Structure 1
Amino acid sequence: MQIKRLLLMALSAVALQSAARDKIDLSPLAWDITLDPQAQWANDKLFTPPVTMASLPVNLPTGGWQLLDHPQKTGVHLPATVEGEMWGWNGQTYGVTGNYVGVSWFRTQVDVPANWQGKRIALQFDAVRFRAEIFVNRQLVGYDLVNSTPFEVDITPYAKVGHKNEVAVRITDPNGNFNWKDSQCYAWGAYLTNPSHGFGGITGRVHLVATDNTFIRDMFVENTPAASTVKVHIAAEGVKQATPLKLELRERGSNKVVWSRQEQMDGSEKTLTLSLPQAKLWSVEEPNLYELTAKLGNDELTQRFGFRWFEVRDVKGDRQFYLNGKRITLITAISWSFWPDNGITPSRELAYKQVRDAKQLGMNMLNFHRTIGNTDVLNAADELGLLYFEEPGGNQYPANKFDDGTAYTQFYFNYRNEKLARMIRRDRSHPSLIIYNLHNERGASPQAEDRRQMQMAHRLDPSRILTYNSCNGKNPEGLPDDHFKLHLMPGDTTFHNIGWWDNHHAGGPGVYHDYIYKGKNDYLRFSDNKGEIVYWGEEGAIGTPPRLQLIRDEILRSGRTNNWEAADYLAWYDAYDNFLRTRGFSKAFPCVDSLTRQMGNVAYYYQGRVMENVHISNTVDAYAINGWESMKLENHSGVVDNYRNLKGDAQLIARYNRPLYLSVKLTHKVLAVGDTTTTDVYIVNRKDIHGPAMLQLTARDAQGKVLARMKKRVKVSGGVVYGENLMTGWKVRIPCAGYVSIEAQLQQHGRTAATGDDKIYAVAMNATGIDGVCAVADTTGVLAAYLDAQGVKTVNYHRGRPQADLMIVGAFEPTQFGSGYSDILEWVYSGHTLVIVDNPVRWADLLCDKEVMDYRGEKALGRSWYGGNFFCRSHPIFEGLPTDCVFNWEYQCFAAYNRRRIGLRDMSGEVLVGCVSDHRKEVYSALSEIPAGRGRILITTLDIPACLKGTEAYTKKVDLDGMNESMNTFNTQGMNKADAVGRQLLLNMLRYASQHKQ
């Protein structure tokens, strides 16, 4: 019995020693939140690390600690923010008015185990925002304001071992944004602070950790050009003498040790080389992970990593990205890191959902954009196979203050350098992370301080690409330029200002249009700049609504109705749902989700086709969608909503990111029957298909009938030629209406090696059935000329009662007197139809004055990342045109951002085309039928005049956001082939008018 007792004691001692590093997660504990709006903070002196605690002021709760006995919120789990738990604390919930600025307290109780006696005890915070003053048992023990980064507080002297301990964190949220901008520093008294999202709280998990006094502080696994070899950097504290260090390597999820080594740690730092020739490399397709465990004395720390190498290679004068020796083209999107509930930090489930979303779209990278990244997201990317590009966010500072010598400038530089350093130390072992970038759209060239910051960052992690700027503007190709191109390459301390070409064109055109592809080497995002990495760093913002129905269902399921977005999403859903049910659209769109998903498809189709352009170019190395997630009042160009729901059908993007397919490119996707389109064919080829092959093209109508065929012998290069033209110039005349498919097959060695296809929509121009005489009120003469050419009988209208069977109004100014306005209405009341296709707002005002139309104002539809969409339902005016649909590429003549885009608040008419804009919680009319006496009025804001006479070329100066660049891509000529849809809609409206005379 004595032997058994001694054995048990020995085993207990071993267990205690092996558990020398103990950890308690404080995040799932019940936390209280107490607002302290009377607290003084605005003129505080601010401190950057390292901080001497004895020199700090002790800021207690206003009125004493008893304030915390009356919290506004209890039972909160971390991460948490005031905005996530108490949005609208002031009684205001609209927009950003429910935000809280000032001091709040987060408090919990934790039992510190008795067996921690003699241990070093620390509180480890993953992140807070903005400033945290930490109290343990009502004593100030820590201070930090390097927001959204990890830090640690040694509480050994203050912790009561074997007892319950109170942890209270005084959070100061001084400022912040609810948009994408990080270029404007925010004031805190006399200080300028690093801009970040305006959520205040404990924004990461919190752990209580006990170790011996000798412990491992950090372990960095640095990748090397020999992908199966890494450098291991270990930092330790409390090493007084040579201490045994044991290293063991395992595949993730396995207990089998595949490599081990015994060393001695005789100082605070040690670097050694780990080589595993049989290592399974980490890649996007095969994200193999390893876990390296270091044991120093009684302490133990495990670091997860992957064997891999990411680099730039020069291949016959073409600079290209390579991962593990294989060329890779990066397809990414910019994420501002907004999230549901707390606003700034994802749940683990959402972090994984984000990565799965990107992979479902066929993308291989995402960007932490204008904000620091999140470790849960990086963990998901490591495990599932997705690359990441990271910015610290808010790294900018006014260029004219760099050398002013003030303490405030030094404070800012100390702050931003500490934030960057913490980010790199935290994230540098993640195999998914491949590029650091310090600024987004920085307008100023780098100064000496910027170079020092880059050198500091590169010393902390020399294994990754580091760039100064990702920017818009006139970036010179093939020429040195510090502002646009300054960068450091892996393992190279030399500053380079050429070889890296990153350019932004944030704004999109609103919809895919036929000038996206005009011919070989003449298409959007083509580049022949082989001497540099070509990165289209922000592209094609087309705003669409979120998946409102899915979000509503999740909010109601979770009961989280008081977070920063919930009320807005619920009201937004209700507005769309009410419109569909009460205005005759429920057959076309049975639920809100059927509408919003189709709207998402507008952006998805555009992005997929431009990604296709990138792939066929074979020179472009990276492409970034603007953007990734949308939130309630910004960034509606996100391809997912804030709950990480895909906003459209994934296949619309994923099909163009496949590793092997034939790219069928058409110069005209929308045209009239009898018109001709030109077909070019490329191969996207990351599967090394090579050698002679037979290319076959087939044109088929919607019933599968073959309209035309052709064959051509081609030769495929393969290798690192990932995009290649196979043929150009097959002209196809379209003899029938509706959808026509152009199908391509590549035959090689008796089998089909690759396929591809594209669609055309052909309109049968039909002016029949427009009976009687049409009065035309149009000072331009364009309407009359077109209708005359179509065989419609017209008479010009000037004033008085129309002497016609129907009437169309174009550029004609209606007035109370002298224009015949009253006569026109009397004519309508007697049983005629008036069609209004221009000047709709003025007409709506006058019709409202006469109480013919319950009109409550107009709304200019958003463009770019705000966005706006049109949709229609079945009606005779859509004969021969797509119906019960959202306006996508078929309706490019109306949906494009260079066209008139206005919605009318029509509360009384029968809406035939609805429209929405950005985050407005209402639906407008773009085409309504309004009963008037025995007659009716058709009024539309759709830009029918532009379908007849074209539009003016966009001549405004391109702004800094690149919004206008997409406006220069359109075919602005009159009688553009794609305008056939608009012209036919005009004819249909007139036919409908002529057939409904009383």
Structure 2
Amino acid sequence: EKDGDKRFYLNGRRVFIMAAMTRGFWPKNGIFATPEMARKDMEMLSDLGLNMMLLHRAIGQPPVMEYADTMGLLTYEEPGGYRVTANRWDSIEGPDQQALELRRIKLERMIIRDRSLPSMIIYNLKNEAEKAPDEDDIRNVRLVHELDPSRIITYNSDRNREIPYYEVMEDDPYKLHMRPFDDNLYYGGWWDHHHWYAYAGYVDVNYNNPEFYLRGVVNGPAVPMPQDSLYRLNKSEVIFFGEEGAFGTMVRLGKIKKDLEGTGANGFREMEHLDWFHHYDSFLDETGYRSAYKTVDELTLSLGRNLHYFHGRNIENVRMSNIADAYNMNGWASASTRTDVVDMYRNPTADPSIIRHYTRPLYIAVKLRNKVVPAGNSPVADFFIINEKDVRGEHTLQIEVKGPKGSVILSREIRVDITGGEEFGELIYKGLQLPALDGQGYYMVEANLVKNGEQVADGYDDAYAVDYMTPAGSVTDAISVIETDGVVKDFLLQTRNITPVPYEMGSDGADVIIIGRHEPDGFDREMIESLLDRARLGASLIVLEGADLFAETIQSELMARPPYYKGGGILRYGNSGRHFVAFSPYLEGLPQAQGMSWEYQYFYSGELGSRSRTTSGLRLDTRFSDWIVSTGSQGSKEIVCALNRVSFGEGQIFLSTLNILPGLASRQANSSVAKKLFLNLIEKNQPQKEQ
């Protein structure tokens, strides 16, 4: 403890824990690590810059812990199966005395087996306990301490869910723990909170300003909310972020296939992995996405980028606060949830350098308050130092802002004073307003910390400016909008000075017809067929709501075999969906050929505080149309379409399940991508593709 701040110390030196949690799943046999896989497991942990493996809900496996010992890594262990409850499915009351005795014996054997391991630092009994500890739990906590008084023992990983997340109890039974060489039971001084992040990647509200950012305050379990700024972390407790993330990505199908060509697909789920690979490989050819992703491995690495980027920036937030003490990412090589920073073969699911950048012991954390902005906006940047190297004293902070073509548009030198010592995170400069980002594209904010002419540390952040006010092509005045809320009409008037004409069934007056928000029963078959007739005669029909109803009618009109639309309605993936794009003229002025990460954050987050979890798509055949935006899932081989263009007679139809409509009315800076994409659909007139 220092100045009232409880911290972790190892051999007398402060340590910040950066961990991943594994459920102990392995390829081939499913349940046990070979020496080779155990070594790869710990090597990947080290390569990402992490320093602890949390052995989650399953007793640890000796080969893993032995490699942790030899590599200087830490471990945290749960026995698994400790939380015994009544079996309500079979109407069995419980737990009975036998169940309690069995869990005690298992716990006791685990401690005796592992207490001599140098890597072991924490034992935990329960994950996300639903009940406060009873007398049996307290006896078992004391038992662990008696068997191994040199380690920390906690009753529960997670907070007390009987009270609101921001409420504090002076003596909280869920915080029960014992400390090394201390025979007292403590019901305070240890704060563990799990978060199941609602979005499929980083969003700008994860950093608002130096006083309010994700995990720099007490946040709710899923979505960062404005009121969280009122709830401050309590430095008088150890702050342990015990589960962070709970969303994932597709596994490395191409890498797995290549490895199985050498070993044979004779293990658990390995034929499934090959099947998924062939599905993805065929998709690249059938849709033309091969021009953007030469291999399946390139695609899956791109899909993993937003998961790795989220964790990297979240780790950065926690470190720079200098209050929190541990960050544990969920998850690692999971067979069931696939919330994987590495897959079950311990392959990193994105470029390892993404996370490794944010786990370095010394660097400048450049924090843009908005990363996605409309062109002409002037974002604000703050600068922290991550400092586990005891850099201290007066230094010069050199800052350069570079435009899309690499030219320097701002240069500053600022004198800063670094505290050093145990202060691992520190704000060194705040409130730098960038020049107006006038052109579309990426802008880079680079920082270097210099002393006596020598570079001490560096860092960067980047922004993307979206120019939706400049037309991307010819603009027609002959636009009709069918909607009940006026959102599309207002947007067109504000951005293009266009007043849409009323739509009349049977009329041929509009070149573009846009379907906005409408009542669920607002379109009968006759109305939809009249709109398709207009498309057949040469109009562009843009469907922003109810895309499944139109897809069904298109299929009945085309009578395509195999079917253009495969049914099932709009499939909603929540935060497990992964949008991605190839090359398309409709993406002009937006990033292309990538998994849709922070640049496209509005499409997986929506409005501030929203829990809509908007990744979705339609089951469409890949051979009849243009797949502009596609959606994969972390736990399925299926790929669906979130934005599709199909030729229809002399015209064309766009079907969208993307979060475009709320973006047109939004005042959030990151909604500029939705505005730009929508206007591209109107303004980018392309040659028609024959059926």
Query: What is the TM-score with the length of structure 2 in the denominator?
Result: 0.91
Shift in Å at residue 369 of structure 1? 0.5
Residue 738 of structure 1 is matched in structure 2 by 441
Aligned pair partner of 1:338 in 17, 21, 25: 25
3-state SS, counterpart of residue 637 of structure 2: coil
Q: 2:16 aligns with which of 319, 324, 329?
A: 329
Q: What is the aligned counterpart of 1:811 among 517, 520, 523?
A: 517
> Once the 2 structures are TM-superposed, how far is the Cα of residue 564 of structure 1 from its aligned partner?
2.6
3-state secondary structure, aligned to 1:345? coil
Superposed counterparts of 1:612-623, under 5 Å: 612-623=316-327
Any idea what SS the aligned residue of 1:575 has?
helix
Instruction: State the Cα deviation string for residues 713-749 of structure 1 (Å, max 9, x = none).
Output: 2111000010000111111121222010011122223
- Pairing partner for 1:546 from 233, 251, 255: 251
Contact kept in structure 2, 1:777 and 1:810, CA below 8 Å? yes
| Residues 217-228 of structure 1: pairs in structure 2 closer than 5 A | none
- Residue 213 (structure 2) aligns with: 523
2:46 equivalent to 1:359:
yes
In structure 2, which of residues 573, 580, 585 is the aligned counterpart of residue 871 of structure 1?
Answer: 580
> For residues 475 and 939 of structure 1, what CA distance do their matches in structure 2 show?
40
Matched, 1:499 2:185: no
Secondary structure of 1:557 counterpart: helix
- Which residue of structure 2 aligns with residue 775 of structure 1? 480
Give deviations 1:246-287, integer Å, cap 9, x for gaps: xxxxxxxxxxxxxxxxxxxxxxxxxxxxxxxxxxxxxxxxxx
1:423 aligns with 2:110: yes
Residues 853-900 of structure 1, C-alpha deviation per residue, up to 9 Å, x if partnerless? 721124534334xx1101111111011111111100000011337353
In structure 2, relative to structure 1, the CA distance for the partners of 1:422 and 1:934 (3 Å cut) is same
SS class of match (2:479) = strand
Q: What's the C-alpha RMSD, in Å, of the aligned pairs?
A: 2.2
User: What residue in structure 2 maps to residue 235 of structure 1?
Assistant: none
- Contact 2:5 2:237 (C-alpha < 8 Å) held by counterparts: yes
Greater fraction of residues in helix: 2
What pairs with 1:331-480 in structure 2 (closer than 5 Å)? 331-398=18-85, 409-472=96-159, 473=161, 474=164, 479-480=169-170
In structure 2, do the counterparts of structure 1 residues 337 and 407 end up closer, same or farther at CA, with 3 Å as the change threshold? closer
Contact 2:303 2:578 in 1 (8 A): yes
Choose from 818, 828, 853 the match for 2:535.
828
Q: Which AA in structure 2 matches 1:672? A: P
Deviation at 1:322, TM superposition (A): 0.9
Aligned counterparts of 2:181 and 2:236: Cα–Cα separation in 1: 21
- How far apart are 1:701 and its partner, in Å? 1.0
Taking a change above 3 Å as real, the CA distance of residues 810 and 477 of structure 1, as seen in their structure-2 partners, is: closer
Aligned to 1:247: none
Q: Which runs of 5+ in 1 are unaligned?
A: 1-313, 950-973
Partners of 1:830 and 1:410 in 2: CA distance: 77
DSSP 3-state at the match of 1:366: strand
Counting only pairs closer than 5 Å after superposition, residues 543-622 of structure 1 correspond to structure 2 as 543-561=248-266, 563-622=267-326
Instruction: Identify if the C-alpha distance between structure 1 residues 863 and 361 changes in structure 2 by more than 3 Å, giving closer, same or farther.
Output: farther
Taking the aligned partners of 1:444 and 1:802, their CA distance within structure 2 comes to 67
**What pairs with 1:910-921 in structure 2 (closer than 5 Å)?**
910-921=626-637
Q: Distance in 2 between matches of 1:863 and 1:366?
A: 28
Residue type at the aligned position of 1:355 = M
Asked if structure 2 preserves the Cα contact closer than 8 Å seen for 1:629 and 1:638, the reply is: yes
Instruction: Please tell me whether the aligned partners of residues 802 and 823 of structure 1 are also in contact (alpha carbons under 8 angstroms).
Output: no
The question of whether the paired residues in 2 share the 8 Å contact of 1:771 and 1:995 is answered with no
**Would the alpha carbon gap of residues 494 and 522 (structure 1) be closer, same or farther in structure 2, given more than 3 Å must change?**
same
- Per-residue displacement from partner, 1:927-963 (whole Å, max 9, x unpaired)? 11111112111111111102123xxxxxxxxxxxxxx
> Taking structure 1 as reference, are residues 997 and 333 closer, same or farther at Cα in structure 2, changes over 3 Å only?
closer
Shift in Å at residue 678 of structure 1? Answer: 0.8
In structure 2, distance between residues paired with 1:598 and 1:374: 32
Q: Is the 8 A contact 2:203 2:601 kept in 1?
A: yes
Most deviating of 476-485 and 773-782: 476-485
Does the CA-based 8 Å contact 2:287-2:626 persist in structure 1?
yes
Please report how far the alpha carbon of residue 408 of structure 1 lies from its aligned counterpart in structure 2 after TM superposition: 7.1
The alpha-carbon distance between structure 1 residues 598 and 638, as it changes in their structure 2 partners (threshold 3 A), is same
Q: Does the 8 Å contact 2:25/2:344 carry over to 1? A: yes
Classify 1:483/1:842 alpha carbon distance in 2 versus 1 (closer, same or farther; 3 Å).
farther
1:860 matches 2:571: yes
**Who is 2:557 aligned against?**
850
Answering whether residue 450 of structure 2 is matched by residue 757 of structure 1, we say: no
Alignment correspondent of 1:51: none
- Distance (whole Å) between structure 2 residues aligned to residue 520 and residue 408 of structure 1: 48
- Structure 1 residues 750 and 990: alpha-carbon distance in aligned structure 2, compared to 1, 3 A threshold: same
Distance 2:656 2:33 in 1: 44
Displacement of 1:536 in angstroms is 0.8
* CA distances 1:126-178 after superposition (whole Å, capped 9, x unpaired): xxxxxxxxxxxxxxxxxxxxxxxxxxxxxxxxxxxxxxxxxxxxxxxxxxxxx
Residue 150 of structure 1 corresponds to which residue in structure 2?
none
Query: In structure 1, what is the Cα distance between the partners aligned to 2:677 and 2:339?
Result: 29
Cα 1:997–1:558, aligned 2, differ >3 Å: closer, same or farther? closer
Task: Determine the C-alpha separation between the residues in 2 that align with 1:506 and 1:808.
Answer: 36
- 1:484 aligned to 2:174? yes
- Name stretches of at least 5 consecutive residues in structure 2 with no aligned partner: 218-232, 606-610
- 1:989 maps to 681
Residue correspondence of structure 1 range 642-653 to structure 2 within 5 A:
642-653=344-355
Amino acid at match of 1:905: R
Equivalent residue for 2:654, pick from 938, 944, 950: 938
CA-CA distance at 1:792 after TM superposition: 5.1
Match of 2:221 in 1: none
Q: Residue type of the partner of 1:493? A: D
Check whether the contact 1:741–1:758 (CA below 8 A) recurs between aligned residues: yes
Supply the distance in 2 between the matched residues of 1:400 and 1:825 (Cα, whole angstroms). 56
Secondary structure, counterpart of 2:292 in structure 1: coil
| Residues paired across the two proteins, number | 652
Q: Would the aligned equivalents of 2:528 and 2:550 in 1 still touch at CA under 8 Å?
A: no
CA positional deviation for 1:800: 3.2
> Cα deviation per residue 1:510-556 (whole Å; 9 max; x = unaligned)?
11111000001200000431100001111122221100111222233
Q: How does 1:284-295 map to 2 (within 5 A)?
A: none
How far apart are 1:980 and its partner, in Å?
A: 0.6
Identity %: 36
Cα distance in 1 between the residues matched to 2:262 and 2:2: 54
Tell me which residue corresponds to 2:226.
Answer: none
Are residue 626 (structure 1) and residue 330 (structure 2) matched?
yes
Aligned-partner Cα distance in 1 for 2:572–2:47: 30
What are the superposed Cα offsets for residues 464-486 of structure 1, whole Å, 9 maximum, x if unpaired? 00000001434667643443210
The residue identity in structure 2 corresponding to 1:911 is: W
1:71-110 → structure 2 map (5 Å cutoff): none
1:980 equivalent in structure 2? 672
Residues 469 and 483, structure 1, Cα contact 8 Å, conserved in 2? no
Work out whether residues 862 and 918 of structure 1, in 8 Å CA contact, stay in contact via their aligned partners in 2.
Answer: no
Take 1:816 and 1:488, find their aligned partners in 2: how far apart are those partners?
64
Distance in 1, Cα, partners of 2:29 & 2:190: 37
How far 1:613 moved relative to its partner?
0.2
Hey, what's the Cα distance between the residues in 1 that align with 2:613 and 2:166? Answer: 31
Match of 1:885 in 2: 594
Please state whether the residue corresponding to 2:431 is helix, strand or coil.
Answer: strand
After TM superposition, the score normalised by the length of structure 1 is: 0.63
In structure 1, the partner of 2:227 is: none
Determine the C-alpha separation between the residues in 1 that align with 2:323 and 2:86: 35
Tell me: CA distance 1:446–1:587, structure 2 relative to 1, closer, same or farther (3 Å).
same
> Would you say the 8 A contact 2:402–2:443 is kept in 1?
yes
What SS does the corresponding residue of 1:985 show, helix, strand or coil? helix
In the aligned structure 2, how far is the partner of 1:898 from the partner of 1:722?
A: 36
Question: Greater CA deviation, 755-764 or 909-918?
Answer: 909-918
Counterpart residue type for residue 598 of structure 2: W
